[in-house]
């Protein structure tokens, strides 16, 4: 199973409270359950290859929307080009829907899938 870096303020708070030295065992159990529930509700933003957009444009869009470095955006673009798709982000559903809308506005083909 591939591990991905996920940033979520809720996850950060959960992690910090879970490993806080002053946390009680009950708080730690609640935090652990909350973290598991959060991870169960993650969605993958997938960008698909198309015959229209230039590779440099795809890199630009990924940098603009996701804040990826040029190197990371280029890696995703090459994966899209060679494999037909790339998972560019894993996030909460609502945020993923916004990302997909933004990608569509830039003319890229993108979908949202529940992370297994």
Specify the range with the lowest mean pLDDT, choosing from 29-33, 60-64, 83-87: 29-33
Q: Where in the chain is the domain with CATH 3.30.1390.10?
A: 42-114
Find the mean pLDDT for residues 77-105: 98
Taking residue 73's Cβ as centre, other Cβ atoms within 10 Å add up to: 21
What does the pLDDT read at residue 1? 44
pLDDT at 23 over 50: yes
Q: What is the pTM of this model?
A: 0.67
Could you tell me if 81 and 70 are in contact, meaning their C-beta atoms sit under 8 angstroms apart?
A: no
What does the pLDDT read at residue 100? 99
pLDDT at 98 over 50: yes
Could you tell me if 101 and 93 are in contact, meaning their C-beta atoms sit under 8 angstroms apart?
A: no
DSSP-assigned beta bridge partners for residue 90: 44
In CATH terms, the fold of domain 42-114 is: Ribosomal Protein L30; Chain: A, (3.30.1390)
Sheet architecture: strand order including 109-114: 85-92, 42-48, 109-114
């Amino acid at each position: 199973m591939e591990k991905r870096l996920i940033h979520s303020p809720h996850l950060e708070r959960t992690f910090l409270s879970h490993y806080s030295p002053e946390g009680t065992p009950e708080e730690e159990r609640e935090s652990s359950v909350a973290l598991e529930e959060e991870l169960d509700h993650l969605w993958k933003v997938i960008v698909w290859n198309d015959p229209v957009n230039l590779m440099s444009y795809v890199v630009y869009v990924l940098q603009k929307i996701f804040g990826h470095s040029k190197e990371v955006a280029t890696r995703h673009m090459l994966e899209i080009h060679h494999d037909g798709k790339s998972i560019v982000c894993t996030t909460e559903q609502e945020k993923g829907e916004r990302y997909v809308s933004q990608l569509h506005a830039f003319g890229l083909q993108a979908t949202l899938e529940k992370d297994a």
